[in-house]
Amino acid sequence: MVDFTRDAPAPVDLDVDWIHGAPPSWGATDPPIQVHACDPHTYVLRQSKHVSYEAPFLYLLFGHQRAVLFDTGATKDDVGFPLRSTVDGIVDRWSAENAADRYELVIAHTHSHGDHVAGDAQFADRPNTVVVGHGRDDVQAFFDITEWPGQVVPFDLGGRVLQIFATPGHHRASIAVYDPWSELLLTGDTVYPGRLYVEDFRAFLDSLDRLIAFTETHPIRAVMGCHVEMTQTPGRDYPIGTKYQPQEAPLPMTVAQLRAVRDAASAVADQPGAHQFDDFAIFHGPCRTAMARQVARTLVGRFRR
């Protein structure tokens, strides 16, 4: 059996061509879910943009006693989005290879916006499965977080101990997850290469400061969010509703880019509105004009096609 402490950090493969949709003339050529094994115990799944333009990334991590799936995607329908059967297949293979009997699965969430929890219903009747509730109180109770948001708590998968802490700002129940085995820092929708929508800017700044402080005492291989909305051209994003992103930015971000998010957020803290930067955008407040511009860009793109 792998020793998740002694053998860490694991070699992790983050060099992957993610499914990114296809031109309308091609039809739906992507599978509904792409599965990538970063290592034998760490999986990243991406929902197809043909199923949902949100195309969220989901994270499945295995320990000796249980696995945890962070987020369940943007679609409830198991026919168009067979998340349950996909995850069951991965868990069954892992259990067989690692002699795991009556293996538990935890369904948790980086936060509870609809594009991260819609697939929960597929796991409602699954044996040996716990689905964590969506509210902040549910999250605090399950992970035993008694001091929100400043406390960092362990979450033991069986030899593989994750670090969980709150990152409100985008959503009041947002969390970040650090995995010492892979040295990945999962940031949900708080930080990713795309449009960072901020619900509570003061809480957002505080969360970014704590993320930065955490990186100063822990080795970070990559910062992993849940979406890609930026192109490979600095400062250029794909508009809302895009279902074909052939030149999208890489999913993994660096600690330097995380610092850039924090510095940018500090700079625009007193300036509500949409602010574009090379690797991300910050939407401070409702940003109605910017959102209307996003819709207009989407419509223009469809008209040109």
pLDDT at 23: 74
pLDDT at 125: 94
pLDDT at 1: 81
pLDDT at 289: 87
pLDDT at 173: 98
Question: Which residues, in sequence order, are CB contacts of 76 under 8 Å at separation 6+?
Answer: 118, 119, 121, 122
H or E element that contains 293: helix 288-304
H or E element that contains 267: helix 255-267
**Rounded distance, CA 143 to CA 186, Å?**
16
Q: How many CB atoms lie within 10 A of CB 124?
A: 10
pLDDT at 150: 95
pLDDT along the chain (305 residues), means of 10: 93 95 74 97 96 97 97 95 97 93 95 98 96 98 97 97 98 98 98 97 98 98 98 97 94 98 98 97 92 82 63
pLDDT at 184: 98
